[in-house]
Amino acid sequence: NSMLLWQRTAFHFQPQKNWMNGQPCPTYYKGWYHLFYQYNPDSAVWGNITWGHAVSRDLVHWLYLPLAVVPDRWYDANGVWTGSATTLPDGRLVMIYTGATMESVQVQNLAFPADPDDPLLVHWVKSEYNPVIVPPSGIGLKDFRDPTTAWYVPTDSAWRVAIGSKNDSQHHAGVVLVYRTTDFVSYELLPGVLHSVTGTGMWECVDFYPVSTESAVGLDTSAASGPGVKHVLKASMDDNKHDYYAIGTYAAASNSWVPADPEKDVGIGLRYDYGKYYASKTFYDPVKERRVLWGWIGETDSERTDLRKGWASLQTVPRTVLFDQKTGRNLLQWPVEEVESLRLSSQEFSNISITAGSVVPLDIGKATQLDIVAEFSVDEAALAGAIGADVGYNCSTSRGAAQRGVIGPFGLLVLADEDLSEQTAVYFYVARATDGSLSTHFCHDELRHARIFLFLSSEANDLAKTVYGSLVPVHDGETLSVRILVDHSIVESFAQGGRTCITSRVYPTKAIFSRARLFLLNNATGVDVTATSVKIWQMNSAFIRPFYERDSAS
């Protein structure tokens, strides 16, 4: 439907048409970044899951390739589901993926590049040994999926692969099983579980990787734990469709991982992203020595609408993931530096005062493809007076940017129309306890988005509208800062250098083309706020296009 073309994004990855699912399977091979993604080639809703494939030189400009792995065997007839890539020391690539069998049993299978000399890895073959892992006893036949990238354990002279599951006889616990292998064909289930958290249900798309606590570089998945290295365990909660992670300590000898803070364990603590975000996955990029995170942005409209528009869901921009050395408790996520290559002209504003209860338009011309970096400071004297303000605040139970507090909300209104009837508010909201301590909330308010619906007025309530967010750690002396990527129907925000991130999938009907605007907002009752610096870049499109084999021949 051409009416909806403005909702397609310009620099986020999305297929040409139809349904894309989480979890991406990213990797790097012979000069190219590869993205394999769960894809329905036939329709804009989930089904016929197959591996779509795209390649890029820079993680920003992508070329669509033919389908990589399709469901054509008894062991994957009901879908080629999520998998992972492992690069062996000799450079070979091993892909292990979940197949849903003819009877919908979840088994693990191997796939290999048909021609390892082809850097584009266009053709794939399946192993004659498939399936290589079947559900072990005590595990549900449909609760055994999404094998991780393998890591090598030198003391054991073997590789290990983790697989997510659940254990309903143990208080609905999410669990991670670990297999040992030397040849990727035969696997031995290790005793015990890597980790388990009661009450969290099925863990999908488990990811397990080391992070350096001392330097700002990424680590290969096989980097051993020890001083200066901790391990991140991430799982996608099938019950609530959020991605949770925790940082902890891995002991290969005992096949166990222990979170640093049991109160913030996987499934009950930190999330990668507090918006519309699920089924993410990292890979190690050996070229730039970084760990890169991909996440899946689903739709918040109905399947019926997706079918009409002919496509559904996207990927976030790839994000670099680092341990936050300053807080020591969380990860930092930041758009990969290549995203900055899309920056075109910029405009800079400084020291704009936003008085309590006001909105300030920023005259920047087009406002549908932006990269924004903004810093705010709150009037000190007013802050000192605001003791005991808004202690019980919570983004998701609030009324969003319309709910006025003493020290918030303030921030930006993106994808807004001229009279603000449509907008996504990206804002901070500060609460001050009676002991004087501050806690800072970071939120996205979509409540004023897409009230009008395009096809039938009876579908006006089709969209899930919500206020997203969480607390963001702020250190003494830090200014409040946010980076926001605006891309037609996606708003991706990174607060305080990426300590807390939120992604919104919105459906603008008024803030489109040249009618989209950008504003500063301060809806606090008690404090004036200064936008000390706001830098805004217009963003180029990434022009994702098909790549034909004849191109490579020429």
Q: What is the DSSP letter of 459?
A: G
Task: Using the rule CB under 6 A, give the single segment among 20-28, 58-66, 150-158, 522-530 that binds ligand DQQ.
Answer: 20-28
Tokens of residue 425, six digits = 């508010």
* 18 near ligand DQQ, judged by CB under 6 A: no
- Residue 82 CB, shortest distance to ligand DQQ, in Å, is 3
- Residue 231 CB, shortest distance to ligand DQQ, in Å, is 21
* 243 near ligand DQQ, judged by CB under 6 A: no
- Residue 161 CB, shortest distance to ligand DQQ, in Å, is 15
- Residue 21 CB, shortest distance to ligand DQQ, in Å, is 5
DSSP structure string for 108-143: EEEEEES-TT-TT---EEE-TT---B-PPTTS-TTS
- Residue 185 CB, shortest distance to ligand DQQ, in Å, is 22
Q: Which is nearer to ligand DQQ, 71 or 473 (CB)?
A: 71
Q: Which is nearer to ligand DQQ, 70 or 223 (CB)?
A: 70
* 49 near ligand DQQ, judged by CB under 6 A: yes
Q: What is the DSSP letter of 384?
A: H
Binding mask 418-457 for ligand DQQ (x = CB under 6 A): ----------------------------------------
* 78 near ligand DQQ, judged by CB under 6 A: no
- Residue 222 CB, shortest distance to ligand DQQ, in Å, is 24
In angstroms, the CA 216 to CA 543 distance is: 31
Whether omega for the bond prior to residue 409 falls within 30 degrees of 0, making it cis, is yes
* 3-state class (DSSP) for residue 193: coil
Q: Which residue has the tokens 């190690």?
A: 284
Task: Classify 157 in phi/psi space as left (phi over 0), alpha (psi -120 to 50) or beta.
Answer: left
Binding mask 279-318 for ligand DQQ (x = CB under 6 A): x---------------------------------------
* 542 near ligand DQQ, judged by CB under 6 A: no
In angstroms, the CA 522 to CA 144 distance is: 48
Among 12, 34, 61, 145, binds ligand DQQ (CB under 6 A): 145
- Residue 22 CB, shortest distance to ligand DQQ, in Å, is 4
* 257 near ligand DQQ, judged by CB under 6 A: no
In angstroms, the CA 534 to CA 549 distance is: 45
In angstroms, the CA 40 to CA 303 distance is: 14
- Residue 176 CB, shortest distance to ligand DQQ, in Å, is 13
> CA geometry: angle at 141 spanning 259 and 163, to 5°?
30
* 248 near ligand DQQ, judged by CB under 6 A: no
In angstroms, the CA 212 to CA 217 distance is: 7
Q: Which residue has the tokens 């217009």?
A: 538
For residue 504, give the nearest of 440, 433, 415, 429 by alpha carbon. Answer: 415
* 82 near ligand DQQ, judged by CB under 6 A: yes
**Do residues 132 and 96 touch, judged by C-beta distance below 8 A?**
yes
Tell me, by CB under 6 A, how many residues bind ligand DQQ. 13
Task: Classify 119 in phi/psi space as left (phi over 0), alpha (psi -120 to 50) or beta.
Answer: alpha
For residue 539, give the nearest of 492, 475, 474, 477 by alpha carbon. Answer: 492
**Among residue numbers 150 through 209, which ones bind ligand DQQ (CB under 6 A)?**
204-205
Beta pairing class for 343-354 and 529-539:
antiparallel
Q: Which amino acid is at 178?
A: V
Q: What is the DSSP letter of 310?
A: T
Among 81, 124, 410, 507, binds ligand DQQ (CB under 6 A): 81
* 273 near ligand DQQ, judged by CB under 6 A: no
Among 9, 12, 20, 22, binds ligand DQQ (CB under 6 A): 22
**Among residue numbers 92 through 131, which ones bind ligand DQQ (CB under 6 A)?**
98
Instruction: Please report which helix (H) or strand (E) contains residue 246, including its range.
Output: strand 242-251
- Residue 168 CB, shortest distance to ligand DQQ, in Å, is 17
* 87 near ligand DQQ, judged by CB under 6 A: no
- Residue 100 CB, shortest distance to ligand DQQ, in Å, is 8
Q: Which is nearer to ligand DQQ, 39 or 428 (CB)?
A: 39
- Residue 80 CB, shortest distance to ligand DQQ, in Å, is 9
**Do residues 60 and 79 touch, judged by C-beta distance below 8 A?**
no
- Residue 142 CB, shortest distance to ligand DQQ, in Å, is 11
Neighbouring CB atoms inside 10 A of 433's CB total: 13
CA 420 to mean position of chain CA atoms: 28
Q: Which is nearer to ligand DQQ, 146 or 371 (CB)?
A: 146
Q: Which is nearer to ligand DQQ, 205 or 395 (CB)?
A: 205
Residues that bind ligand DQQ (CB under 6 A): 21-23, 38, 49, 81-82, 98, 145-146, 204-205, 279
